[in-house]
Amino acid sequence: MRNPLLVNFLLVFTIFFSVTIFANESEMNSDETKTDLKTEIDEYIQHHLKDSHDFSLFSYTDDDEVTHHVGFPLPVILWDNGLVVFSSSKFHHGEEVVASGNNHYKLYHGKIYKTDASGTINYDPDHHATNIKPLDFSITKSVMMILITGFLMFLLFRGLAKSYSRNGGIAKGVGRFFEPIIIYIRDDIAIATIGEKKHQKYMPFLLTIFFFIWFLNMFGLTPLGVNVTGNIAITTALAILTFLITNFTGTKTYWKHLFDPLGSSMPWYAKIPLYVILIPIEVLGIFIKPFSLLIRLYANMQAGHIVIMSLIGLMFLFKNWIGSSLSFGLAFAISLIEILVAVLQAYIFTMLSALYFGFASEEHEHAEAH
């Protein structure tokens, strides 16, 4: 371990999760109606696609009908007239009420509700919980993955940056693999869509977003299966950043294009009836562009996860050699395709963001040609 950063990280990680692997036991009544396999798989997939307040690796039920959950607890951070912080292990996977000061909290269907001391959840006629939800800023599984990915990216690319100065401008190690990708993003995405002159100020965003989405997509394919990029909140956050950058760096030409797309090609009285239709469409376009970004990434990753997990679930449902091995083969094939999709979606997000930045940073002389 030559890298001091890595050592520090591991140190902090171990201290932070000093009780890393904890086994949590919960009694299951043997007379409780057992859900059939199909529903169980369905619920498992649903559960997998969701974020959670603890980092569960797997769970199993032993001979004594006791369910063990193996994983890490994560910190729960709430804002409820003051900061409330406690470990997610206190929830015991939603089975126990956590008392903090005079307040009590309960985890119910992945969300934290404020309850009374006994943990009563009140429901409205549609069976939705009506309890107050405190502002939740918890470090959940997804947030944890974002942190880990960010940290890995920082280590990786900091290492690459350092290797240049050490080796006289030549990348060493894994940097050799990533350097062509960086050059590709610069030359074939940024310069190709934004142009030689203005691409530089967009480079940090484009490079970060590409590797961020790619790495998170790849992490989603590991057995840990953390579905981060398949979470619509994540893709929304990314798309909003693209939206903000596009419109805040928009040049005069860009805005003129939006509100006066026909320019001087027509007299003003002829433009008015056209603009009644055109301008709303253009304005709508500003929002539709990033919206398509967020939906595309979210839907692709979500769908990929559902398909793979369903195929894996089918292996258990078939319970015969042909069906199960067929499902296995299919799941394997889809997994391979998902590896491609992982990089493809990262590429598309980056490419389209760059394209929008290109529109925004368009200069006058170029616009004249339209």
Partner 1 sequence: MVVTVGYYHWFIFFWQTLLFLALVFLLWKYAWKPILNAINDREEGIKDALAAAEEAKKEMQNVTADNEKLLKEARAERESLLKEAREIKEKIVTDAKELAQAEGDKLIKQAKATIESEKKAAVADIKNQVAELSVEIAEKVIKEQLSNKEKQLKLVDDMLGDIKLN
Output 239 or 362, the one with its CB closest to partner 1: 239
Output 181 or 258, the one with its CB closest to partner 1: 181
Q: How far from each other are the two terminal CA atoms of the chain, in whole angstroms?
A: 57
Do residues 69 and 56 touch, judged by C-beta distance below 8 A? Answer: yes
Output 110 or 285, the one with its CB closest to partner 1: 110
What are the beta bridge partners of residue 136?
78
Q: Please report which helix (H) or strand (E) contains residue 164, including its range.
A: helix 141-166
Q: What is the rounded distance in angstroms from the CA atom of residue 7 to the CA atom of residue 318?
A: 47
Residues written for the chain: 370
Q: Is 282 in the site for partner 1 (CB under 8 A)?
A: no
Task: Please report how close the Cβ of residue 183 comes to partner 1 at its closest, in angstroms.
Answer: 6
Q: Is 260 in the site for partner 1 (CB under 8 A)?
A: no
Q: What is the rounded distance in angstroms from the CA atom of residue 243 to the CA atom of residue 288?
A: 10
Q: Is 262 in the site for partner 1 (CB under 8 A)?
A: no
Q: Is 205 in the site for partner 1 (CB under 8 A)?
A: yes
Task: Please report how close the Cβ of residue 161 comes to partner 1 at its closest, in angstroms.
Answer: 4
Q: What is the rounded distance in angstroms from the CA atom of residue 40 to the CA atom of residue 33?
A: 12
Task: Please report how close the Cβ of residue 135 comes to partner 1 at its closest, in angstroms.
Answer: 8
Task: Please report how close the Cβ of residue 18 comes to partner 1 at its closest, in angstroms.
Answer: 23
Q: What is the rounded distance in angstroms from the CA atom of residue 294 to the CA atom of residue 305?
A: 17
Q: Is 363 in the site for partner 1 (CB under 8 A)?
A: no
Give, as ranges, the residues between 87 and 116 that touch partner 1 (CB under 8 A). 110-111
Which of 191, 278, 306, 314: binder of partner 1 (CB under 8 A)?
306
Output 160 or 346, the one with its CB closest to partner 1: 160
Do residues 298 and 227 touch, judged by C-beta distance below 8 A? Answer: no
Q: Is 138 in the site for partner 1 (CB under 8 A)?
A: yes
Do residues 2 and 166 touch, judged by C-beta distance below 8 A? Answer: no
Q: Could you give the string, one character per residue 155-174, with x where binding to partner 1 holds by CB under 8 A and - elsewhere?
A: --xx-xxx-xx---xx----
Q: Is 226 in the site for partner 1 (CB under 8 A)?
A: no
Task: Please report how close the Cβ of residue 8 comes to partner 1 at its closest, in angstroms.
Answer: 15
Helix axes of 175-184 and 203-221: crossing angle, nearest 10 degrees:
130
Output 103 or 253, the one with its CB closest to partner 1: 103
Q: What is the rounded distance in angstroms from the CA atom of residue 141 to the CA atom of residue 147?
A: 10
Q: For residue 311, report the phi and psi dihedrals to the nearest 5 degrees.
A: -65, -40
Sheet holding 111-115, edge to edge: 98-100, 103-108, 111-115
Q: Is 126 in the site for partner 1 (CB under 8 A)?
A: no
Kindly indicate which of the ranges 64-72, 233-241, 277-285, 337-345 contains the residues binding partner 1, using the contact rule CB under 8 A: 233-241
Report residue 8 CA to chain centroid gap: 26
Which of 181, 191, 241, 326: binder of partner 1 (CB under 8 A)?
241
Q: What is the rounded distance in angstroms from the CA atom of residue 111 to the CA atom of residue 41?
A: 21
Which of 56, 140, 246, 327: binder of partner 1 (CB under 8 A)?
140
What are the beta bridge partners of residue 154?
none
Contacting positions for partner 1 (CB under 8 A):
42, 45-46, 49-51, 110-111, 135-140, 142-143, 146-147, 150, 153-154, 157-158, 160-162, 164-165, 169-170, 179, 182-183, 186, 203-205, 207-208, 212, 231-234, 236-238, 240-241, 302, 306, 310
